[in-house]
Structure 1
Amino acid sequence: MQAKKLGWTDLNLSIIGAGTWAIGGSGWKYSWGPQDDRESISTIRHALEKKINWIDTAPVYGLGHSEEVVGQAIKEQRNKPIVATKCGRVWDKDGSISGCLKKESIRSEVEASLGRLKIDVIDLYQIHWPDPDEDIEEAWSTIA
C-alpha cells in the first residue's frame, strides 16, 4: 500500500485509511444503525492486514462505542496502526451532543479516549467540527 507523509509530521499514512463512524452502532442521534462489533473488529483487522495503517475515530461516534471497538480490534496487533481521534464534541447523560473546546473538557476527553482505545498515545488529535463562536485558541494551546 502506498503511503504519504502527513504534512510536517513524522507520520506516514497509507493512502487509504479506515473510518469508524458507522462502527459506533445505533442508539444515538447520528447513527448509521445497528452494527455487529465482531464484524467491525474483523473488518478493522482485515484492513490492517491489507496494509491500511491508520484508523480515524472519534469519541462522539456511538458516544464512545466506536473507540471501544477500535481498542478491541488493535489491542493484540503486533504493528499498531496510527490512531487518529478527536475532541470538541461532548454528550450529556441523555445523549445530547454539544461542542466544547475548554481546556478541562479536552483534557478529560483525551483521558477517556486513551482508556477506550486502550493505548498510551494518540498519534493524531483533531478538533471535531469547531464552532466559530468558541475559543479555538484555548483548544489549540491545550492540544499543543
Structure 2
Amino acid sequence: MRKVQLGDSNLYVSELALGCMSLGTERKQANYIIDQALDYGINYLDTADLYDQGRNEEIVGEAIKKRRNDIVLATKVGNHLKEDGSWYWDPSKAYIKSQVKSSLKRLQTDHIDLYQLHGGTIEDPIDETIEAFEELVEEGVIRYYGISSIRPNVIKQFVNKASIQSVMMQYSIFDRRAEEEILPLLQKQKISVVTRGSLAKGMLTKDALSITQAKAQKGYLDYRQDELLSTIKQLIDLLNRDQTLTGLAIQYALQNGAVSSIVAGASSSTQLSENVKALEQSFTTAQLEQVAHIAKQNKYEKHR
C-alpha cells in the first residue's frame, strides 16, 4: 500500500488508515482486525483517549506492542474524562500534559507519533494548547502534533500559530465544505489532511440505499433524504463493472492534493477487506469530475 508523507514530517502514512473507534471492546476480534490491517500494508492507526473511556487505547496498545516500530500511532486529547464515564472539553496545558501520560500507559509505548487535539473552539486558550504540544515534542513524548477539527476559524488559528503536521476533518462526496476554504490553504502550507467520515456513515458503500432509507430520514447536512437517494443513484450510474461506490468515495477524497490518508473504521474483517479493495480501484478524471457536478458544493455556515 502506498505511503504518503504527513505534512513535512518524517512520518509516511498509508493512504488508508484504520480508525480504531469501531473495533469494539472484544479484544480477540480487535486484535485480529488490527493484525489483518497491518498485513494489508496499513501502517497508520488512529485512536483517542475518549473512545470507550480509554479501553480502545488499551486494546490498540496490546495489539501493536510487538510491531510498534512498523506503525504510525495517532491518538487524541482534549475531552477530559471523569470517573463516572462522562467528560467535558478541556484543552488546557495542564490537562494535555497530564493526560498524555495516561495514554502512553494504555498504549504501552514511550512515544506517540501523532498527538491530536480532539476538537476545539475559537474561544479556547489556543496559545496555551500549542505550548503544551510543543513542550511534549521537545520532551520526546510525542513526535508531531495536529488537530481534529471541522471549524475553519480554529484551523486557521493553528495554521498561523502552530507547527501542526495534519488536520483530521470530515470530508466526503456528501460533505465538501472544506474544498473551497480550507483544503487549498492546508495544501499551500504543506499540512496534510486526514479524513474521517469519507463513507458518510455508510451512505457511500454497497448498502448505500438501504442505509440512507433507514437512517437518514432527517437528511444529512444540507441534503434531504430524497436528495441523498437521488444523488446516490446518480453516483452508482457512474460506476463501471469493477468499480464500487466505496471505491468512488475513497478515491474522490484522495484525489484532492491536500489529502494524505482516509481514516476508515472497520468493525469486521469483511468490512476492512472491502475498504482495502476499494482503495485499489481506479477511476478516470472524467468520473471524478462528474462527481463534483452531481454532489452539492456545501458551505461552512455553522461550526465556524
Tell me the TM-score range normalised by the shorter chain. Answer: 0.7 to 0.9
Corresponding residue SS for 1:58: coil
The aligned length equals 134
Deviation at 1:68, TM superposition (A): 0.2
Task: State the distance in 1 between where 2:68 and 2:108 align.
Answer: 14
What CA RMSD, in Å, does the superposition of the two structures yield over aligned residues? 1.3
Task: State the distance in 2 between where 1:16 and 1:78 align.
Answer: 18
1:108 to 91, 98, 103: 98
Correspondence for 1:41 = 31
Corresponding residue SS for 2:116: strand
Q: Specify the code of the residue in structure 1 equivalent to 2:120.
A: P
Contact 1:22 1:61 in 2 (8 A): no
% same residue: 37
Correspondence for 1:129 = 119
Q: Deviations over 1:64-104 (max 9, x none)?
A: 01100000110122743110011111111111111111111
The answer to whether residue 59 in structure 2 is matched with residue 69 in structure 1 is: yes
Q: Specify the code of the residue in structure 1 equivalent to 2:86.
A: S
Corresponding residue SS for 1:21: helix
Task: State the distance in 1 between where 2:73 and 2:19 align.
Answer: 11
Correspondence for 1:12 = 12
Correspondence for 1:53 = 43
Task: State the distance in 1 between where 2:98 and 2:56 align.
Answer: 18
Q: Specify the code of the residue in structure 2 equivalent to 1:123.
A: D
Q: Deviations over 1:100-120 (max 9, x none)?
A: 111110011110010000011
Structure 1 residue ranges, 4+ long, deviating more than 3 angstroms after superposition: none
Q: Give the alignment's TM-score, normalised by structure 1.
A: 0.88
More helix by share: 2
Q: Which runs of 5+ in 1 are unaligned?
A: 26-34
Task: State the distance in 2 between where 1:63 and 1:69 align.
Answer: 12
1:88 to 72, 78, 93: 78
Corresponding residue SS for 2:83: coil
Higher-Rg structure is: 2
Q: Give the alignment's TM-score, normalised by structure 2.
A: 0.43
Correspondence for 1:143 = 133
Q: Which runs of 5+ in 2 are unaligned?
A: 135-304
